[in-house]
Amino acid sequence: MDGQEEFLKEFGDFYGYPNAPKSIDEIRSTEFKRLEDTVYLDHAGATLYSELQMEAIFKDLTTTVYGNPHSQSDSSSATSDIVREARRQVLDYCNASQKDYKCIFTSGATAALKLIGENFPWSCKSTFMYTMENHNSVLGLREYALNEGAAAFAVDINEAVDQDGASRSSLTSFKVLQHPVQIRNEAKILEGELTGDAYNLFAFPSECNFSGMRFSLDLVNNVKQNAEKILEGSPCSKGHWMVLIDAAKGFATQPPDLSLYPADFVVISFYKLFGYPTGLGALIIRNDAAKLLKKTYFSGGLYLEVLLMDIFNVVVLLTISFTGTVAASIADIDFVRRREGVEEQFEDGTISFLSIASIRHGFKIFNTLTTSAMCWHTMSLTKFLKRKLLALRHENGESVCTLYGNCPLKVSRHDCGSIVSFNLKRPDGSWFGHREVEKLASLYGIQLRTGCFCNPGACAKYLGLSHSDLLSNLEAGHVCWDDNDVINGKPTGAVRVSFGYMSTYEDAKKFIDFIRSSFISMPSEFEKRYLLRSKSIPCPTEGFEDRLPSSACHLKSITIYPIKSCAGFSVNSWPLSNTGLQYDREWLLKSLTGEILTQKKVPEMFLIKTFINLNQQILSVESPYCKRKLQIKLDSDSYLPGREEFYLQNQRYEVQCYENEINQWFSDAVGQPCTLVRCCQSEYCFSLNKNRSMGMCRDVNGKLNFANEAQFLLISEESVSDLNNRLCSKTQKLSCGAPPNVNPMRFRPNLVISGGEPYAEDGWRNLRIGNTYFSSLGGCNRCQMINFYQQTGQVKKTNEPLATLASYRRVKGKILFGILLRYDPGNKARLDTNSWLKVGDEVHSNSE
């Protein structure tokens, strides 16, 4: 029995919409053709729109005239009808009576939460209680509460479970662990006694976007009816409790039934339901809760000018404004009459009516498949993936995967959502970084998400991070979305896989195969040697020139890259300076916002050709997007007066800026406004990272211009040849056309050597090229930039050669190829202004 047969034997009744007009395979082949080469597993971040859905929306918008609903024209009336129907569909989806609830459209779930926070009747007697597992957008409500003198605290919810694993449903089935109470203005709190007159708010997600754990909706009735018992008589339990459900994640496959669980507020986001439209959400609000919100702001659109005559027969012009949130207002006196409709009170300005008109096409898909079937479908994939991950073992028997969330693995659609959150371990128990997983996954065409997913409470809870851990991580420079994925031996985030209604068994299978091939195989001989070398005592540099053996290598080419991320030029010989090859990476381009432009973000930079004429002292630059060649004098008189400073790679640079004519040329070349700056040598400082390890960081001892890591990058022709052989074998095995042939220049080296064995450079400590001495800083960590290449004047991108390199050149999350060099500061052959490198120079190495 193969894997899919085994899967279908257990989940066949739940997977693939057996009772729907289309099977899952038909849905994928007809409505998601763009996923042919992509495994998309970030539906918790944003699910995907159907191609048929978009065709229906396009047809609707191109055949119907929708006018601004704040009018009485036929087109406006048609829009009003569509909006009214959209509100009904949203309420029907969660079984909410139109008599009891209203649907307020917002710009997203976050805007809906902000609306609650701004207008909730907070007081010094109020309490804001929220589960630890909440999105930052919910935690932001705490600011409104604390600023008004209210108390706030987080809670952990423990739900009583029967022996058969089923959750109980009674008013006493929850155990609440209360975290410390937060009070911003304690004196104010003490002045007012906590009484039953206060309005309190409890917020929880229907599904945790970190772990996928679903909270029991019995919490709604428990808190509203029995808060004092749940909180064991805490003073904060008194008052009228209102309940907010963040359903941004859980609404698609398990919307709350508001007829059974009458929450006061429910917030949703439509792009997480249907993929489109973005920038549209909704607040589902109980009518009695809406009456308590204290709206201050009103907005306007239409107006009416009225001529009146007062008792003195003076004509007065009154401008009365009719808007979405008010019935009328007068400009020059304090007069406003608000509209009575709940939606009209809170929807400021003109709603996004074209986006609202689009959601009915998403609901049409959901109604065809049914919510229950979508829930069972995603549940089957989630359970399958969790079981497979938990079963993975290293050769020494150690577990590979640690899952987060206490969801049972039995077949049930009520316990967990469509999320699998986890981290991976090495055989020795150390952690693979989550960013390493994400980067490698992208090379395999797998799109997922890593980090804390804007849910700091769940992240800290499941990863076991204390307050001191979080603060020390912050002091170490860790912020959201950076590459600091393991600090002090602990992961700072997790890997998250999330399924959507169009996800397939093949998606889950490809992901499992990726994990198995990338994180379970034994370390390569290269990795073993490299780790051993990085832990060994550095070889003394004094007198190493006397120990260099005879050479089997010579310098094949020299390349200078004057402008960071632009094309370089090759020469037969070139002078050296105290920053490396003279003029190498001495210039860079900055956007008007200060962002450094690189090929990763602006591939057109690859097409900018450079050349420096040492005799004429001119930098020449060409681009296919510019008619004329640009020539810049090296002792330029086109500098702007004064210097600027900025930080790059944690280091401060002083730079010289250029006049507008030069900046306009580069702006045309890259297709966006930018400025050219030149590094003022020796006028910046270095920031030393005390925890740096060999070959894994920036050179902090040598002087650099704008190079990422070191003064020189050296590549071996023999190593490139071995890589090409591997690419050829891989292509033949997969039968996928002609193998790519990678040129050494794809890696943007300064120095290319020829001769010797492939990867012999990995073991070099020191070397001499001609009469110049260097120290090796270790391997160069490669990134997606080496996957860019030029073809017929266009910049293109593939997943090679980085994907192949990752299969055999990976060490502790780094993909290494080539070595970084700097002048050895301790040797006696000091660099002087007459030092040159020449093609053909012999290369002597020392590997001690």
Catalytic residue list contains 539 = no
Tokens in use for 753? 């050597």
- Contact indicator for 28, 401 with CB cutoff of 8 Å: no
Catalytic residue, candidates 94, 407, 452, 454: 454
Pairwise CA distance, residues 386 & 26, whole Å: 26
If DSSP states are collapsed to H, E and C, what string results for 530-567?
Answer: HHHHHHCCCCCCCCHHHCCCCCCEEEEEEEECCECCCC
Give exposure, 424-438, as e/b (b: 16+ Cβ within 10 Å): bbeeeeebbbbbbbb
For 550-614, give the DSSP string: --SEEEEEEEE-SBTTS--EEESEEEEETTEETTTT-EEEEETTSPBP-TTT-GGGGG-EEEEET
β-strand partners of 590: 596, 675
Q: What is the DSSP letter of 301?
A: -
* Residue 773, number of CB atoms within 10 A of its CB: 22
Pairwise CA distance, residues 330 & 281, whole Å: 31
- The bridge status of strand 101-106 relative to strand 151-159 is unpaired
Tokens in use for 162? 């029967």
Pairwise CA distance, residues 314 & 37, whole Å: 76
Pairwise CA distance, residues 427 & 735, whole Å: 34
Burial of 752 (0-12, 13-18, 19+ CB in 10 A): buried
Tokens in use for 468? 């001191």
Pairwise CA distance, residues 377 & 253, whole Å: 10
| Residue 202, SS3 per DSSP | strand
- Contact indicator for 388, 514 with CB cutoff of 8 Å: no
**CA-wise closest residue to 523 among 809, 783, 760:** 809
Tokens in use for 526? 């290269």
Q: What is the DSSP letter of 625?
A: T
CA angle 773, 774, 779 (to 5 degrees): 160
- Contact indicator for 589, 666 with CB cutoff of 8 Å: yes
Sign of CA dihedral 579, 581, 583, 587: negative
Pairwise CA distance, residues 794 & 603, whole Å: 9
Sheet of 494-498: strands edge to edge?
401-404, 419-424, 494-498, 449-451
Tokens in use for 378? 């995603």
**CA-wise closest residue to 670 among 620, 598, 725, 572:** 598
Angle, helices 353-369/74-93, rounded to nearest 10 degrees: 40
* Residue 613, number of CB atoms within 10 A of its CB: 11
- Contact indicator for 301, 376 with CB cutoff of 8 Å: no
For 341-407, give the DSSP string: SHHHHH--SS--HHHHHHHHHHHHHHHHH-HHHHHHHHHHHHHHHHHHHHH-B-TTS-B-EEEES--
Contact residues for 593 (Cβ-Cβ < 8 A; gap 6+): none
Pairwise CA distance, residues 802 & 148, whole Å: 54
| Residue 230, SS3 per DSSP | helix
Pairwise CA distance, residues 246 & 634, whole Å: 59
Which of the residues are catalytic? 454
